[in-house]
Amino acid sequence: MDTLAHAVYGAALFSRTGLAGGRRGAVDKQLRAVACDWTLWAAAGFGLLPDVFSLGIYFTQLAFTGEPLNFSAIPAYVLVLYKLTHSLIVASLGLGLLRLCGKPLVVPALAWPFHIFMDIFTHPHGPFQTPFLYPLSDFAFNGLRWWLHPWFIRAYWALVALLWLGIVIWRRRRIRPKAAS
């Protein structure tokens, strides 16, 4: 699954503007109120986190050094970071820490394990498999090569668009009887 989709799914499921806001979430409000919903940006950020704090660091390094992108010569430390950020054990520890000292972030942070959950089934064996039990085990499923299947990319983008649409309709139906009375 592409990194941007992880952010959009994270925001859709784990922000107040998204599903986690319940029926009173921010979608009915003005666009400015939606843009000011910090949980929206936090959930999107946690959705990005596993890729940004691994491959993102490598891409930033390439931008500074001017070296060409070479997926077969990715530094070992980036691969270790990739395993760490794609581990449900590490994500659980992170969530535990947030529960202790950053409680309001806990719900948006669920976008992190959700990213891992989606990658488990959409990454095949190889350097970018999803070792969700790391460091206890390197076990990973031999998932779908999502980037080779345009139908799959279209399907998951259509699904998240429908999810946002569903949230808007759900909330509009709540306020309509009030407006009529």
Q: Are 9 and 118 in contact (CB under 8 A)?
A: yes
Q: Are 25 and 73 in contact (CB under 8 A)?
A: no
Q: How far apart are CA 34 and CA 85, in angstroms?
A: 29
Q: How far is the CB of 3 from Zn ion (least distance, A)?
A: 7
Q: How far is the CB of 126 from Zn ion (least distance, A)?
A: 13
Interface size with Zn ion, residues (CB under 5 A): 3
159 contacts: CB under 8 Å, gap ≥ 6? none
| Footprint (CB under 5 A) of Zn ion, residues 31-50 | 50
Tell me: does residue 51 bind Zn ion (CB under 5 A). yes
Q: Quick one: 84 or 106, whose CB is closer to Zn ion? A: 84
Q: How far is the CB of 130 from Zn ion (least distance, A)?
A: 7
Q: Quick one: 27 or 90, whose CB is closer to Zn ion? A: 90
Q: How far is the CB of 73 from Zn ion (least distance, A)?
A: 20
H-type alpha helices, 36-149: 38-51, 57-65, 76-85, 88-101, 106-109, 111-122
DSSP element (H, E) containing 180 = helix 150-180
Q: Quick one: 17 or 87, whose CB is closer to Zn ion? A: 87
Q: How far is the CB of 170 from Zn ion (least distance, A)?
A: 29
Closest residue by Cα to residue 113 from 18, 9, 36, 39: 9
Q: Read off the tokens for 104.
A: 């309001």
Q: Quick one: 38 or 139, whose CB is closer to Zn ion? A: 139
Q: Quick one: 17 or 85, whose CB is closer to Zn ion? A: 85
Considering only 10, 78, 90, 119, the residue that binds Zn ion (CB under 5 A) is 119
Contact footprint for Zn ion (CB under 5 A): 50-51, 119
